[in-house]
Structure 1
Amino acid sequence: MSNVIDQVSDKVRSVRSEKESNNLLSQFVNNEDVYFSTTQYALLVKPPFAAMGSTKHSTLSKSVHDGLDFLKKIGVEDCILVGAVSFDVEHESQLFVSRNFSFDHNHTRTYVNDNSRAPLIAKSIVEIPSKAEFKKGVENALSRFERNELQKMVLSRTLNIKFDQDIQIKKTIETLEQTNQSGFVFGVKMFSEHLQHNQTLIGASPELLLSKRGNKISAMPLAGSEPRGKTDSEETILSQRLLTSEKDLREHALVVESIKQVLTPFCKYLNIPDSPSLINTPTMWHLASSIEGELNNADVSSLDVALAMHPTPAVCGFPKAVARQAISEIESHERGLFTGMVGWNDANGDGDWVVTIRCATVEGKNATLYAGAGIVAGSSAEKEYQETGAKFNTMLNAFGLKGRLNEK
């Protein structure tokens, strides 16, 4: 805790930027700033930062609360917590506190034709795990279901891409905003003693983990997916097939029930729909449930509630502890911040946190893309592989690789 206080003490004299801008993204500086936007607003957070990292989720909330309480005691009320939380409870998160932030509540996602951006060329693309290894992992999960060890598991894979030139992060984030009009777009600097170089986490998540304003909360879990069709008739067939799929509805119900169990102790009431609805992104159809509630105590922070929910079965599995262990045994790569959560929390505890999916970590000419699929009884290894391939397209499109990746 002393380290946190020391860092905050050193930074506390910083002055929050009051400059208004119609385009906060234009002020984004790679490897320095944090950017987060929705269809309603954009948020830009700049240094100086006080790091709030913790190696375990169990101590993360206390570390953050102690740091923010200290700021209040010395008269600093106007500050914001922002960043990303890892999937694995043992891995370090990337959370920061700053007074230097700006909101743009008139944020619009308008297309800007910029011909100065040279197209990226992928010099190499490496799948980790390979197609055969991923499908073997799915079969492993299915055998565990047969033994009644668990009911759902989320398995993921990565694409490691090396380009011919440095990735223009600001332009990539801009493209994500234009091509994912309803998504939550983010760019988060990543740096710690465990990283040899600065990296940036970028993405466009469709999934709201938790939003809090005063005593009101909302969530939008996604579980059950189908790639988009190429024609209107194909779209109708695929979307209706998803909406009536016994397997996908069962998977979705597991996620919603788990979230209900977590949120109920926090809330006076919860409004949960009886059945999911369909939403879409440019690449996927999803089953979604819009959940709303009222907190017993408005002083509970959005981070605290989000941490209690994280990770949901939508990105981990059910039962959670068993699924986590199974994932660690099957997956050969580190998820890092993928399937964690990214967002912000202000001094009053209000904020938005989204699930860190449809994302990539970027460093110079290199990018690592992540995608996962929910496995339940009745899943097909080949179909889950194809589903993760479709989910990669959010970032592949942003990098300008649409139609140029042919997975074997």
Structure 2
Amino acid sequence: MSALFPTYKRKQIQLQQGNGPYVFDQNNKKYLDFTSGIAVTSLGHCHPEVVAALQKQSECIWHTSNLFQIQKQELLAETLVKNTNMDLAFFCNSGAEANEAAIKLAKKFTKKNKIITFNDSFHGRTFGSMSATGQQKIKDGFGPLVSTFLHLPWNDISQLEKHTDGETAAIMMEVIQGEGGIKIADFNFYKKVQEICKKYDILLIIDEVQTGIGRTGKRYAYEHFGLDPDIVTLAKGLGNGFPIGAMLGKRKLAEAFGPGSHGTTFGGNPLACAISQSVLNIIFQDEFLKEVERKGKNFKEQLEDHLLSYPSVNEIRGEGLLIGIECDHAGEIIVNLENEGLLTVPAGERVIRLLPPLNVKDEELTSALNKILAVFHNIHETVS
């Protein structure tokens, strides 16, 4: 009998060691890890530069509290906002915390309450971020939630125009819905969101917890769509597995987040910031990001070339190395891929989500492709 609350439906696999894109279970079986801890270990497992940064800082100081100046926070913030329209950063420990900070900041700055989010979105599991989430299954059983969120259909301009007005504090969205099924809207939808925000003086909050830090081949996914956010939230790939989150914002918002307005005990501690800085030093290089775009484009095209001929496959979508295969029997296929030595993760009910490390090699993508094709062939033959 486990001493843990049963909040997760766990596999019988115990991952005990990792090296680059590979992990090994309790029986020493080797897997290609295309979950990356759900878009977290973007440089793979035990990357030498990240390990070195952790070891070096761990011998200096781990934690001081935010009552003191933390120079590594200053440097990390500058790296995150450089060459963007963002000016300031607040550091926390997770994506849910980053989104909580964004919700608080938007309401306090605008002095308005209504925040528009979208069906099938996912923003976290705290009461505020859960209320923002557009998936009922996340909310069932928890009673009344924060009531000032309005959830609209994703990619529906007419509904957006109908329900947005001067009483709206913010529009909050993932530019690519991750947990909701790797869903990308039409370019005109993003354009209309931006127009409406400017028309009614509404803050635009972009949740980049899963899509940020190079996952789509840009530093932040909103760059693909020409958006001008007021607030951006980050976590997951920011620390390559070490807990850290961040909220970025424009300088005008500083007036609403003065001393005592928000805080965190552990957020932005020197150890987390040193590790994150080592991650960004690698990922935010132009050549690195170009390679992510190239590898993602090629891998997606190969998947389309081989899989779209199967009647059970509806669509392959994504950007960079965030790719979803929408198909029948997704759960069964994920289990079969594990047997073949490839770890993937679902997104929604019918989507297989592929999240390789951003520094994955071409030959490792080819190996994954061959495993995927073998499983789809076997499933198709069985169903036929």
Q: TM-score range, shorter-chain basis? A: under 0.3
Answer 1 or 2: which has greater strand percent. Answer: 1
- Normalising by structure 1, we get a TM-score of 0.23
- Normalising by structure 2, we get a TM-score of 0.25
